[in-house]
Amino acid sequence: MAKVYVFDHPLIQHKMTYIRDKNTGTKEFRELVDEVATLMMFEITRDMSLEEVDVETPVATAKSKVLAGKKLGIIPILRAGIGMVDGILNLIPAAKVGHVGLYRDPETLKPVEYYVKLPNDIADRELILVDPMLATGGSAIAAAESLKTRGAKNIKFMCLIAAPEGVEAMQKAHPDIDIYIAGLDEKLNEKGYIVPGLGDAGDRLFGTK
Ligand code: PRP
Ligand code: URA
């Protein structure tokens, strides 16, 4: 069964309060999403493997460590996932970025895929699928399926806010994908919005309605 991690770091929780606030404008919202994505990535990469190397300091040779093992791929779910990419690249600038375009049909709440472009070596990469919102779970489930169909083997899912319904659906559909969340909320409303949530993530990031 997939593990679920809810980040309780004070800096993440502090910034999430302002992300949720309806009075936070587009510019500040975008900056905060970026910052929280960086902080979450810092936690997620805690278990990355290292290897020992020798490095010459101005004084002597030091035994030191560099990252080893699988390379990363960041896969934002369009549109809103784009808001988290730069924050992640701040920490891992060499990561490759693929895109999965999905929107949620407002009537059926079912995801509709409209675009997929991925690095050609995704099978060899550790992939972080990112989207600010995990509501019914339909979008994340479909995006992960899309990645697996194209060869992905190692996926983590990272979101800002999740509803319990979405977490359960995602765990059931993809028991191999661990889920990383900054805020686990109460429920979905009748329109499939997370309560209390933050509203429509794409609209708040890009200033649309
Ligand atoms: C939002 C959000 C997720 C999805 C979550 O995207 O960014 O992708 O809804 O809902 P779900 O878990 O019920 O599928 P939306 O469909 O509004 O598209 P957008 O990012 O293009 O605005
Ligand atoms: N998508 C959003 O952007 N917000 C929600 O609360 C649910 C889905």
Q: Which pLDDT score, from 0 to 100, does residue 6 have?
A: 97
Q: In this predicted model, what pLDDT tens digit does every residue of 34-50 receive, in sequence order?
A: 999 999 999 999 889 99
User: Which of 26, 105, 203, 208 is flagged as catalytic?
Assistant: 203
Six-digit token string for 137: 């779970």
Q: Which pLDDT score, from 0 to 100, does residue 16 have?
A: 98
User: Which of 108, 121, 176, 208 is flagged as catalytic?
Assistant: 108
Q: Is this prediction's pTM over 0.75?
A: yes
Could you identify the atom of ligand 1 that is nearest to the CA of residue 188? Answer: 13
Task: With beta carbons less than 8 A apart as the criterion, state whether 159 and 180 touch.
Answer: yes
Ligand index nearest the alpha carbon of residue 135: 1
* Annotation says 8 is catalytic: no
Q: Which pLDDT score, from 0 to 100, does residue 106 have?
A: 86
Q: Which pLDDT score, from 0 to 100, does residue 84 have?
A: 98
| Ligand 2 mean position, distance from CA 200 (Å) | 5
Q: Which pLDDT score, from 0 to 100, does residue 74 have?
A: 98
* Annotation says 200 is catalytic: yes
Q: Which pLDDT score, from 0 to 100, does residue 165 have?
A: 97
Q: Which pLDDT score, from 0 to 100, does residue 104 have?
A: 87
Q: Which pLDDT score, from 0 to 100, does residue 90 have?
A: 94
User: Which of 104, 125, 136, 185 is flagged as catalytic?
Assistant: 104
Ligand index nearest the alpha carbon of residue 134: 1
Q: Which pLDDT score, from 0 to 100, does residue 172 have?
A: 98
Positions of the chain with pLDDT under 70:
none
